[in-house]
Amino acid sequence: MPCRPRSGGIEIRVRATPRGGRDAVEGIEALADGSRVLKVRVRVAPEDGAANEAVRRLLAKALGVPASAVTLATGATARLKTFFIEGDAAALAARFAALTGQDS
């Protein structure tokens, strides 16, 4: 699953599409290797970290946490990224499940 509990929060694996025409969380996507990621789109171009910042803010808004609670853990220059969301892991996992309509 794209959402994993960690000490002090959760990690979410994301496939980001910059210049996607809109800012949106589009749901869970299965990759060719069988792993699953959260698919998101942002309007901005991937220049100077702008797309990463847009994804960070989109995740914060979607999960109802402050943007300061969301950090990019891996994948700064890749489409596949891992974000860490700081907070109560069980509550965040429940919000993620509600957001995606799936079990976390």
pLDDT tens across 23-76, in order? Answer: 999 999 999 999 999 999 999 999 999 999 999 999 999 999 999 999 999 999
Computed on alpha carbons and rounded to an integer, the radius of gyration of the chain in Å comes to 12
> Which residues have C-beta within 8 Å of that of residue 72, sequence separation ≥ 6?
52, 55, 56, 81, 82, 83
Backbone φ and ψ of 48, nearest 5°: 55, 35
**Average pLDDT for residues 71-88, to the nearest whole number?**
97
Q: Looking at the predicted structure, is the pLDDT value of residue 13 above 80?
A: yes
Top pLDDT among 1 and 55 is at 55
> Which residues have C-beta within 8 Å of that of residue 3, sequence separation ≥ 6?
10, 11, 12, 38, 93, 96, 97, 104
Token output for 2: 């794209």
pLDDT of residue 103: 57
Quickly name the fold that domain 3-100 has: Conserved Hypothetical Protein Mth637; Chain: A; (3.30.1200)
pTM for this entry? 0.92
| Contact (Cβ atoms closer than 8 angstroms) between residue 3 and residue 27 | no
Helix (H, G, I), strand (E, B), or coil: what is residue 61? helix
